[in-house]
């Protein structure tokens, strides 16, 4: 008998594309608001609204009993990983061009491939391993080791933050695959939004008065530790939009990886790259420099090769199993 995750590939692809478009809008809105509000305040408002929408969706999926789980620890770990990924990525996004940060984050599929070996017991061949190494070469090129921090316009640590965000995101997706067989997409969305609310409230209790931002002129630190303020009238709409959009993102990603195998849906995550370039060009007049284009090509090309190779191997295994089943 085939699992649910292997029988709905078109639905999985549709959900992943919708999720990536929503993520690109989310990134654009947060970058636009990063010079006026602290990250944890934006996250709190976004997630509080997202929980309400996810609860409404849950009613259509079967009711609040879907929140019951036999694996609360794994769900808590998954939520923590998502929070870490988002925090690192958005702190970098406050000072980096949108396309640059997005491209570095797209090393996540390569991390998924590598981590599937120790965590899921999977095997990768020489070709896929070579593609992963090419992808990480793209990351090195995008780090531009030949430039000084002054030429980059920000700290080298900032350049590493999207890569760390990709690592924690990859770990989260591997957990999603494990939990998807017993948890609904809306339930997993609510668990994630709840983790964001808890962590952002923790930030408010510790740093909500802005004490850690005093005297700093670092845009990333200011974005992380700036004091909470009451939003201006014109800012409520983008904040509400972020909340609605966050529920769409969490639901679509969870549903995509529940309904189809990772090798089928993951290549479509690269829809986010041209979207990031588009938003950066439209709103900030940003276009990637040549090293960034080279890095984008290497990361995206190697990621697509890895997933296409995985799909090809899966078909080969299925054919062998089918032949053996006849005899």
Whole-number average pLDDT of the chain = 83
pLDDT tens digits for 19-28?
999 999 999 9
pLDDT band at 136 (very low <50, low <70, confident <90, very high): very high
Q: Are 306 and 113 in contact, with CB atoms under 8 Å apart?
A: yes
> What whole-number distance in Å separates Cα of residue 153 and Cα of residue 199?
30
Is the model's pLDDT at 205 over the cut of 80? yes
Reference 186, options 76, 26, 61; nearest CA is 61
pLDDT tens digits for 55-101?
887 877 777 777 777 777 777 888 889 899 999 999 999 999 999 99
Region 190-197: mean pLDDT is 87
CB atoms within 10 A of CB 123: 8
The Cα-based distances of 224 to 16, 36, 82, 154, 233 in angstroms read 29, 11, 16, 16, 23
Give every CB contact of residue 156 below 8 A, 6+ residues apart in sequence.
143, 149
The residue ranges of every structural domain in the chain are 12-325
Is the model's pLDDT at 146 over the cut of 70? yes
CB atoms within 10 A of CB 260: 25
DSSP 226: P
């Amino acid at each position: 008998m085939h699992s649910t995750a292997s029988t709905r590939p078109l639905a999985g692809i549709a959900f992943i594309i919708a999720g990536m478009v929503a993520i690109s809008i989310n990134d654009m809105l947060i970058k636009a608001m990063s010079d006026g509000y602290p990250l944890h305040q934006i996250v709190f408002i976004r997630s509080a609204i997202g929980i309400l929408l996810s609860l409404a969706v849950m009613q259509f999926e079967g009711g609040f009993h879907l929140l019951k789980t036999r694996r609360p620890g794994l769900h808590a770990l998954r939520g923590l990983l998502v929070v870490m990924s988002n925090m690192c990525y958005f702190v970098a996004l406050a000072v980096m061009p949108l396309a640059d940060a997005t491209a570095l984050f797209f090393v996540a599929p390569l991390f998924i491939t590598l981590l599937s070996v120790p965590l899921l017991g999977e095997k990768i061949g020489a070709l896929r391993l070579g593609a992963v190494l090419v992808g990480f070469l793209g990351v090195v090129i995008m780090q531009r080791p030949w430039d000084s921090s002054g030429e980059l316009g920000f700290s080298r640590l900032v350049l590493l933050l999207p890569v760390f965000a990709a690592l924690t995101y990859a770990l989260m997706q591997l957990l999603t695959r494990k939990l998807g067989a017993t948890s609904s997409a809306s339930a997993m969305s609510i668990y994630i939004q709840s983790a964001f609310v808890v962590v952002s409230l923790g930030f408010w209790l510790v740093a909500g008065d802005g004490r850690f931002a005093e005297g700093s002129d670092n845009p990333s630190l200011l974005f992380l530790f700036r004091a909470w303020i009451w939003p201006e009238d014109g800012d409520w709409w983008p904040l509400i939009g972020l909340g609605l959009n966050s529920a769409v993102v969490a639901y679509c990603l969870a549903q995509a990886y529940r309904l189809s195998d990772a090798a089928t849906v993951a290549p479509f995550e690269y829809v986010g790259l041209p979207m990031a370039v588009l938003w950066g060009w439209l709103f900030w007049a940003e276009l990637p420099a040549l090293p960034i284009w080279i890095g984008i090509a290497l990361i995206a090309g190697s990621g697509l090769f890895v997933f296409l190779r995985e799909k090809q191997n899966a078909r080969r295994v299925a054919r062998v199993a089918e032949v053996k089943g006849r005899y």
